[in-house]
Structure 1
Amino acid sequence: MTYPAQQGAHRALRMLHDRFGAFLVKGTRARLIAVGHLLSGNFINALIMLVSVAMAARSLGPATYGVMVLVLSYNRVVERIIRFESWQPLIRYAVQEENRGSMRRMQRLYCYGLMIDIGAAALAAVSAVVLALLFGPLFGLKSVHVQLVAIYSIATLFNVAGVPVAAMRLAGQFKMLAYAQVAGNVLRIAFAFYCMVAGAGVIGFMIAWTAAQVLGSVIVFWLGFRALRQTGIPNPLHARLKGLVKDFPGFFGFACSTNLSLTLRVITTEADSLFVGAVAGTSAAAVYYLAKRIAKVAMQVGAQVQAVIYPDVSRMWAKGNVQAFRATTLQVQAALFTVGAAMLAGAWLLGPLLIRMGPGEAYADAYILLLTQMIAVMLALHSAPSRSAMLAMNQSWLVLAISGLGTAVFVAVASYAVPHYGALGGNIAHVVLGVITAVLMDICWLRKSRRQQMAAGVN
């Protein structure tokens, strides 16, 4: 005899099973394995980079290291304003071309992306030096620091990563992509150690950073072209250039919208260090940058998880599989919340020890900045799957609008908070930006996917 309580428990367990089964959509195991490779590789890279950063910070001291921070931030601002994240439109258009099965069209598509990447990298490298000569004082750069800008511009010239990154992600070579940068970062530690022992100064450390970055870019480029060969796509460098724009209408517009979104993110990820340095001084910029570099260990999680799910959700949306599309995005958001919470707890417990053992007591103020920045990182982690979902839905201009609104609020908050609270004001602005972006993106992608699901008659 079955009692009502037993029947209720049975129904509850069955409901949980159904919900859990819908949540773990097809491909979850492979996706988690890919995420695991990316996370392990990026954690190794992040830890290696933190070691080299600690060597530079301890050797140079807050004031001089702050100068290096300003130069690196300036170069990255110029690069990311001009550079296109061509891997995003490449993945979206390549997914559509997969159904046609034409390797020649795929070759031409990658050629299109490669031409954009090469042109943007060359323009960014030249622009960084020219603008530093003309307007360097506005960014806190003196004439003696322009040579540092010129040195690191060599790394910008070699940063042609859009095509190789797209090729490896579409080929599912996430493990290879994750560990590709390790060699360059190991070299950075070796160079940084030599510079610290030899007292090479800021120029020596800048050369070390440039050499490591160039090596990493060359390795990624070679691996990307190897991935193209393995998937049967001919070398894009041998493709016919004529008619690329006509053959792939909308590609350049999509690339422009993602580039504008990247430009807006640059204001909050790189230009903020320039602003803190200009308002609060190079020492404050050094402490602020150091806290952000430690928090970037967590930020890499969101970036790499987005890299894994973007091709998957693009295919799901293109095929009309809205239920799996929603489940996958929500699944990743839940996982990232757990990761973010764990990293915030780790920063709270281990932050003082890491700072003391790494860059030293001179950077003790970075602890409170680190905790505040980790809250902003948790919000950014939540937004990463939402951004992938919206790009898969061809909502790149809406992503741009949300990024624009968030950036405007960020600038307003930072303009008030940094003069009043110093470097901590920049972290507060990051938290406000994270709240706005996370809420608005969730509202947009959930509403649109729900309408699509109802239109398709899926319950």
Structure 2
Amino acid sequence: MSWTFASQAFISAAAVITLFISARALGPAGLGMLALVETFVRVVDLIVRLEPWQAVIRFAIRAEVNDDRAALLRLVKLSLMIDAAGGFLAGMICILLAGLVAPMVGLPAEEGPRYIYLVAAGLFFSFRPTAVAILRVFDRFDILAKIDFASAILRVGLTALAWQGGWGIWAFLVILFLQSLIEGITALFFAIRILHGRGYEGVLAANGLAAIRENPGFLRLLWNSNFNVILRQSTNRFDVLVLGAMMNPAAVGMYQLGKRVMNRVSKLAAPVRQTIYPELARLWEEGRIAAFRRLVIIVSLGILGLQLVIAIPVMLNIEPIIITVFGQEFAEAGPVMNILLISSIVLASGVVLNPALLSMGKDRLLVLVTLGSTILFAASFLPMVHYFGVEGAAFSNLLFNLFWTVGCIFGFRKKRHSASLF
């Protein structure tokens, strides 16, 4: 937890610095175009590529508890196969659709597709999910933290160079590609080293498809966990594209500024989700229900209390902070940022509920809650934007997180009651 939290705190600070530099260098319109390119690539990647790490962790923990090394190696091989196929498919779809999508979302008709080609190329090297699964199963969160720490430093440095050199939007797109490349390969290299160091040899020779047969429920969990993420992240991705189609790139830039800053705030709770999932899976697998319950409740309340202490002073002084950090051009982003800050507090406070429900085998319930939240978001987004502009988009985001958190709490309590946890 200490490694991951320290890393995430630094990464969040570095991300805000990177956003500050990008905003100063590109202005609202340029920042909006950069956001549209990155969002489109991430949306396609999100929909097409199934990340196997959650399912792999769930079943690899069982193999580790049973000391079944061969079974764990087969799971890792299957994970690599899923990553390779998904990354290739997502990259090709981005490239094929670039010419059609670019003008539809407000990107330049001639240069826009080329922007997408460059960023999409990084998808062909997306092996990070497998690396995440391996390193988290063996409690090597420090390695992931160091890699993310180095990547954040590199991005800040390259962004500063691009700003000072006046290299324009192409330089910032190249930086996105390089970051994707580094994150996709470096973590896997260290994860394979950890496997070898622990005596797990022969990953490439293992029969990955056999892991599906010997782990009933793997494909269901793979689909449900990713479908849940797809639904959740769609509110964080499609809103930018739809806003680009409805408004101009400058408005997208305002919205993106608020989202990026507030997302970094909510990501400060990400170390909890990352480190607690393997522990919750172990507690549930071992039948230690009381400890499982206490961990979820104490961590959730602790995150909420900490956020309120930090967020309230920021919300009261949001406009002067924006003008000082990002410039007068972004002064109108204050109301948007305050709404998104409340939304991020709600999201981060319920961050433990996702891994808790997955550990309990309630992946179907998680999908239903997220589906209902997504339907509410989709139904409210267009009317909200029509009547309230960018602030309306932020309100829809808040509605999604409120509905999702309440639904997960209800599902968690229902499961505990039926399992005699009280």
Deviations along 1:225-245, whole A, 9 cap, x unmatched? 223233332252232345343
Task: State the Cα distance separating 1:88 from its structure 2 match.
Answer: 0.5
CA distance in 2, matches of 1:400, 1:230: 37
Letter in 2 for 1:122: F
1:47 alignment partner in structure 2: 13
* Residue aligned with 1:358, SS: helix
Structure 2 CA distance for partners of 1:384 and 1:147, relative to 1, 3 Å: same
* 1:347 maps onto 2:314 in alignment: yes
TM-score normalised over the length of structure 2:
0.95
Correspondence for 2:180 among 204, 213, 217? 213
2:52 alignment partner in structure 1: 86
- Tell me, yes or no, if the aligned pair for 1:228 and 1:235 is still in contact at 8 Å: no
- Tell me, yes or no, if the aligned pair for 2:240 and 2:252 is still in contact at 8 Å: yes
* 1:72 maps onto 2:41 in alignment: no
1:59 alignment partner in structure 2: 25
Equivalent residues in 2 for 1:196-275 (5 A)? 196-241=163-208, 243-275=210-242
TM-score normalised over the length of structure 1:
0.87
* 1:380 maps onto 2:347 in alignment: yes
Correspondence for 2:96 among 108, 130, 151? 130
* 1:139 maps onto 2:105 in alignment: yes
Deviations along 1:92-141, whole A, 9 cap, x unmatched? 11122123212111100111111111111111111111122234333333
Correspondence for 1:444 among 406, 411, 416? 411
* Residue aligned with 2:419, SS: helix
Equivalent residues in 2 for 1:333-372 (5 A)? 333-348=300-315, 351-372=318-339
Deviations along 1:356-407, whole A, 9 cap, x unmatched? 3433111112222111111111111122111111100111121111101001
- Matched pairs, number: 421
1:323 alignment partner in structure 2: 290
* 1:158 maps onto 2:125 in alignment: yes
- Tell me, yes or no, if the aligned pair for 1:168 and 1:224 is still in contact at 8 Å: yes
Equivalent residues in 2 for 1:14-25 (5 A)? none
Structure 2 CA distance for partners of 1:426 and 1:343, relative to 1, 3 Å: farther
**Unaligned 5+ residue runs, structure 1?**
1-33
Deviations along 1:313-351, whole A, 9 cap, x unmatched? 111111221111111100111111012213322532564
* 1:167 maps onto 2:139 in alignment: no
CA distance in 1, matches of 2:298, 2:135: 24
Percent sequence identity is: 24
- Tell me, yes or no, if the aligned pair for 1:332 and 1:385 is still in contact at 8 Å: yes
CA distance in 2, matches of 1:405, 1:199: 45
2:79 alignment partner in structure 1: 113
1:24 alignment partner in structure 2: none
1:411 alignment partner in structure 2: 378
Structure 2 CA distance for partners of 1:407 and 1:343, relative to 1, 3 Å: farther
* Residue aligned with 2:175, SS: helix
**Unaligned 5+ residue runs, structure 2?**
none
Deviates more, 1:36-45 or 1:408-417: 36-45
* 1:101 maps onto 2:51 in alignment: no
2:277 alignment partner in structure 1: 310
CA distance in 2, matches of 1:222, 1:354: 41
2:150 alignment partner in structure 1: 183
CA distance in 2, matches of 1:236, 1:134: 40
Structure 2 CA distance for partners of 1:153 and 1:375, relative to 1, 3 Å: same
* Residue aligned with 1:187, SS: helix
* Residue aligned with 1:95, SS: helix
Equivalent residues in 2 for 1:26-41 (5 A)? 34=1, 36-41=2-7
Letter in 2 for 1:325: F
Deviations along 1:142-184, whole A, 9 cap, x unmatched? 3421111111112222222111111111211223222311222
CA distance in 1, matches of 2:193, 2:254: 41
- Tell me, yes or no, if the aligned pair for 1:184 and 1:213 is still in contact at 8 Å: no
CA distance in 2, matches of 1:157, 1:287: 31
Please provide the CA RMSD for this pair: 1.8
* Residue aligned with 1:270, SS: helix
Deviates more, 1:260-269 or 1:71-80: 260-269
* 1:390 maps onto 2:357 in alignment: yes
Deviates more, 1:179-188 or 1:232-241: 232-241
Equivalent residues in 2 for 1:5-20 (5 A)? none
* Residue aligned with 1:274, SS: helix
Q: Which runs of 4+ in 1 moved over 6 A?
A: none
